[in-house]
Structure 1
């Protein structure tokens, strides 16, 4: 069937797109075998836009993992029922062979940002940014950051991506922040927090950028409307190495308190800690989220994942998540709709 022919004979392409948009994505592999026209159309950005318009977008969890700690990496994809859908291509040049990079989702696409190659003593920082489109199942290079950096904090606020501080090639902390506008594919520099962010983490809440600093009791807050920074003091001294945000609450793992999961509620400006299972041997587990629940990927047990729904009365109880079985060691996980 030629690309100029109708998607479905007898229907306009607009109506055909609406019909196909109602089919679950798990059937797309079979649909792609109907003809080349369907295969091309199902992978198009236009069809993704139609699915978004009709409310048929599905949520998937993409997990970046290692065969063994410090070895080759790859991506696995799970649907909302836990079905393993296969892998997505690795990032080019040289992708996750770097360290200190950032991974996030912007406009339902995965972004892989910065990082460094070489050793910590002689790092070669990168300004590179790559974007993965699930519609085309491919990566493309975006505009470089203005300054190569690694081990930074990052978060999306109102459609813009903020990359906060980090470190440069000389190993010194950068005190600026970069902002990425996906509509123009451009980065711009702005002032960052007034103090050094020691490999902390960031998240957004009510059009504000929150940056939590490891090793201090300070939270830096950037108001995107007034374009000003303010500092909020807390009683918590953190050493966070993994975190996730579920229903506007931040859940984090702290190397200083491995037996407790930290919870920060920006609405109430409150801190709590709840029990979290620990592993013998000092393995550092990683956090993720799935179906609005907190996941804990146990580092010392490949394929072992536990889950907790903190909004339920039994929220302090962890249970096995048999639906999510990783084939390697968890590094990063993101949720994406397409």
Structure 2
């Protein structure tokens, strides 16, 4: 929500503009003054007439999420509040948060992809507007402050490969994309995760395909990427997740090792240092964070779910109840504290599997009706 600083800044910028116009045309200056007055009035006007702003905010938060794109067009105050981090906090206090699964799925023709959103039952779905820019691969996806963030990657246009440093944000309340600050280093096939409200991008490959050890962090309040201490060795094709205020990076390859690395790089934002463990997964084809635990599936063992507990750095292997091919392959999703396994084979015999870690022994696995419209490429869960 715009505060006094917002108004002062707009007035200052507008005054600078209008003072130049005064020297040229008095009539234009009068029109400018009216416009300036309108801008200040719009920023300072109450959210709802005759109501305190805290009551008004609660009222807006009670509206179902599907109505927010239209509501955001009512006035600048409404739009600014709906876009803010405070809005999610108010909706949480009002008990109005809705959890949706956002899936990047392959088009029916197999020539492109699109994002679609599914509700917790899988019965409601809608298609998101196309992502800006050319189609990309090797990018990272993160949820930050209830927004979907798509980071970097590479595209191939007319046979030419271009590595990106772009950061795009999708706002589910406004149903629109916007471009944010670019990274310092273009990269793809890198690891990324959110820790303490900040986005970390680790390693990957650069513009010439070289392995990277560089790491940078994104501050959403400043809309800025900053370089931090690099990894001890380059690493690409890896993945990351944040838990208990630390960043864990595992999987992938390094130019200093043969094959896939079992090393886990652990970064402490508090100490600004990296440490290493030797107990990681390799050749991971799917991963997701379930509560405070990491769920992985390795290419060499697609019949078992590997669950990592950062509390004691231990792994638990859980058999996956699948018959038939031993290499079905899955993509993971999270809804209502449960793990969804979407099969990568388009066969009616394979259903979406659901793993509930809190179910009674022997009842952890079920089949589920939730299914994307096409082949699942990646997913994120947004609760807003």
> Shorter-chain TM-score category?
0.7 to 0.9
SS, match of residue 115 in structure 1: strand
Tell me the equivalent position of 1:197: 235
Please give the secondary structure, in 1, of the residue aligned with 2:301. Answer: coil
Contact 2:154 2:162 in 1 (8 A): yes
Alpha-carbon distance between aligned partners in 2 of 1:262 and 1:159, rounded to the nearest angstrom: 27
What does 1:111-260 align with in structure 2 at a 5 Å threshold? 111-118=149-156, 123-214=161-252, 215-234=260-279, 238-260=282-304
Is the alpha carbon distance of 1:188 and 1:79 closer, same or farther for their aligned partners in structure 2, counting shifts above 3 Å?
Answer: same
Q: Describe the SS at the equivalent of 2:295.
A: strand
Displacement of 1:195 in angstroms is: 2.4
Cα distance in 2, alignment partners of residues 132 and 216 from structure 1: 33
How far, CA to CA, are the matches of 1:39 and 1:308 in structure 2? Answer: 44
In 2, distance between residues paired with 1:278 and 1:153?
A: 32
Q: How does 1:1-338 map to 2 (within 5 A)?
A: 11=51, 14-25=54-65, 28=67, 37=74, 41=78, 44-45=82-83, 48-49=87-88, 50-52=90-92, 54-68=94-108, 71-94=111-134, 97-118=135-156, 123-214=161-252, 215-234=260-279, 238-276=282-320, 277=322, 280=325, 282-301=327-346, 304-314=351-361, 317-322=364-369, 324-338=370-384
Assess if the C-alpha contact under 8 Å between 1:101 and 1:151 holds in 2: yes
Runs of 4+ with >4 A deviation: 3-14, 38-43
Assess, with a 3 A threshold, how the Cα gap between structure 1 residues 171 and 314 changes in structure 2: closer, same or farther.
same
Describe the SS at the equivalent of 1:170: coil
Q: CA deviation at 1:266?
A: 0.8
Q: Secondary structure at the match of 2:288?
A: strand
Cα distance in structure 1, aligned partners of 2:182 and 2:375: 29
Shift of 1:73: 1.1
Larger radius of gyration: 2
In 1: Cα distance, 2:55 partner to 2:289 partner: 38
Q: Does structure 1 conserve the Cα–Cα contact (< 8 Å) formed by 2:229 and 2:272? A: no
**Contact residue 60 and residue 337 of structure 1 kept, 8 A:** yes
Matched residue SS, 1:183: coil
Would you say the 8 A contact 2:214–2:229 is kept in 1?
yes
Structure 2 CA distance for aligned equivalents of residues 116 and 288 of structure 1 = 24
How far apart, in 1, do the equivalents of 2:49 and 2:227 lie? 52
Q: CA deviation at 1:198?
A: 3.7
What CA distance in whole angstroms lies between the structure 1 residues aligned with 2:362 and 2:115?
A: 30
Question: 1:23, CA displacement in angstroms?
Answer: 4.0
Deviation at 1:248, TM superposition (A): 0.9
Gaps of 5+ in 2: 1-40, 253-259
C-alpha change, 1:38 and 1:216, in structure 2 (3 Å) is same
Q: Post-superposition shift, 1:17?
A: 3.8
- The more displaced of 81-90 and 238-247 is 81-90
Indicate the larger mover: 284-293 or 297-306: 297-306
Whose helix proportion is higher, 1 or 2?
2
Q: CA deviation at 1:61?
A: 1.2
Q: 2-side partners of 1:224 and 1:151: how far apart?
A: 23
Change (3 A) 1:269 1:136: same
CA shift, 1:155, in A, is 0.7
Query: CA shift at 1:331, angstroms?
Result: 1.0
After superposition, the Cα gap between the structure-2 partners of 1:53 and 1:89, relative to the gap in structure 1 and judged at 3 Å, is same
Superposed displacement of residue 129, structure 1 = 0.7
Distance 1:260 1:69 in 2: 32
Q: CA deviation at 1:316?
A: 6.7
